[in-house]
Amino acid sequence: MIEVNADRQRPHLTEHGVVFRALDGRTDGLTQGPRRDVVSGLTDADFDVPAYQPLDLTPLADLSHGQSRAGPVRERRPVYVDLLPPCNAGCPAGENIPGLPMPLRAGAVSVPVIGSLNGITPGSWARYARSMQDSGAAAIELNIYYLPGDPHICGRDVEQRHLDILARVKDSVTVPVAVKLSPYFSATGEMARRLDEAGADGLALFNRLLQPDIDPETLSVVRAVSLSTPAEIRLPLRWIALLRGRVGASLAATTGVESAAGLIKYLLAGADVVMTASALLRHGPDHATVLLDGLCEWMRRKGYTTVEELRGLLATPVGADETTRERWDYVSALREANSTDYGPW
C-alpha cells in the first residue's frame, strides 16, 4: 500500500491501497475513507501457492548413549534446512523468482502487489529485488530476517548490515522500498532514523523472528511457524506512537491485528498503513472486509468522516520529553496494577 507524495517525492504508505501520485501533483484513485474494493477481487485461489515438498533428508544419528552418561548426549549440532521453493544450482535461495506465483502479472487481483524479499548476500538482495520489480511488483519490502547469534558480532555491524542492504536495493530498483525491522536493536528509534535518512520509503514494525521450541521427549528442536495473537500488538503499537512525526518514512504496523480494534489502535497510534496476515490465514480473505467494516462502524459512532482525522491522535507528541513520559507510564501502570487484581503489594 504505497502512495507517492508529490511534494516530498517519496512514497507514503496509506490505507487507500497502492496509489501512485505523479510528481506533477496529479492524483488518481485517491479516496477519503478506507477502501473496500481493494479486497473485492481476492478469493481463496489468490492465496494458493504450489505445495513445495521439503528435501528428502536422512536424519542425523547425533544422539549417543555414552558409557559414563546417565542419558543421551547430543554430540553434533542439529542441521537447520530452509524449506524454500526449488532453486537452481549454486544459489542459496533460488533464482526462479519470475517463476513463482505472481497473480499481478495476469491482473488476477485488483490491488498492486508488494514483493516481500529475504536474501542472504548483498548481491542477492539487489538481484531478487530487480526480478520482483520486473515481474510487476509495485514496491519491495526488505524482510531482513537476521539473528546475530555470534557473540563476536557488535551492534553497529548489525545496524550497518541493514543500511548496506537498503543501499544496494535502492540502487537497483525504481519502485518504493520499505524495510521490515525487528524490535531487537539497542536503540530502535535511532535505527529507524538512520534507515529513514538512508532513503527507506517505509518502515514495517515489527518482524517476528521464528523461535524454535524444544521437544524434551524426542530431544529435538521443533521448528514451526506460529500465527500472531492480539496480545502481541503492544510492542509495535508503542513504537509506532513514538516514531510518528519523527521520521519521514511511512510507518506500517504489523502483528496482532485480529479484529477491527487492532486496526483502530494502530491508526490512533499513527500508523500510515496496517497489515494483517495471521487473521486472514485463520479466517480467510473475506475477513479483510470484516476489519474494514468494523473500522467504518467505529468511525461513524465516534463522528469521524476520514481516517486522517483520527490518525496519530494518541501518538507521542513531537517535542515531548520521552524519558519523562516513559517513566510516568511505568509508574502509572504499577499503581493501576496495585489497585486492581494484582494488588496490594
Q: For the chain, which residues make up each domain, given as ranges?
A: 81-314, 318-345
CA angle 202–205–211, rounded 5-degree value: 135
Give the residue, 32 or 220, on which the prediction is more confident. 220
**Which helix or strand (DSSP H or E) is residue 170 part of?**
helix 155-172
Count Cα neighbours of 40 within 13 Å in the Cβ-side half-sphere. 6
| Complete edge-to-edge strand list for the sheet that includes strand 250-254 | 114-117, 139-143, 177-181, 202-205, 250-254, 273-275
* Residues 251-300 pLDDT 10s: 999 999 999 999 999 999 999 999 999 999 999 999 999 999 999 999 99
Give the residue, 15 or 213, on which the prediction is more confident. 213
On the question of pLDDT at 12 being above 50, the answer is: no
- Alpha-carbon gap, residue 57 to 59, rounded angstroms: 6
Q: Tell me the average pLDDT across 157-163.
A: 94
Yes or no: is domain 81-314 CATH 3.40.50.720?
A: no
Q: Are 194 and 148 in contact (CB under 8 A)?
A: no
On the question of pLDDT at 235 being above 80, the answer is: yes
Q: Is the bond into 317 cis (omega within 30 degrees of 0)?
A: no
Query: What is the model's pLDDT at position 34?
Result: 52
> Which of 11-20, 137-146, 237-246, 308-317 has the lowest average pLDDT?
11-20
- This prediction has a pTM of 0.71
Q: Tell me the average pLDDT across 114-143.
A: 90
On the question of pLDDT at 246 being above 50, the answer is: yes
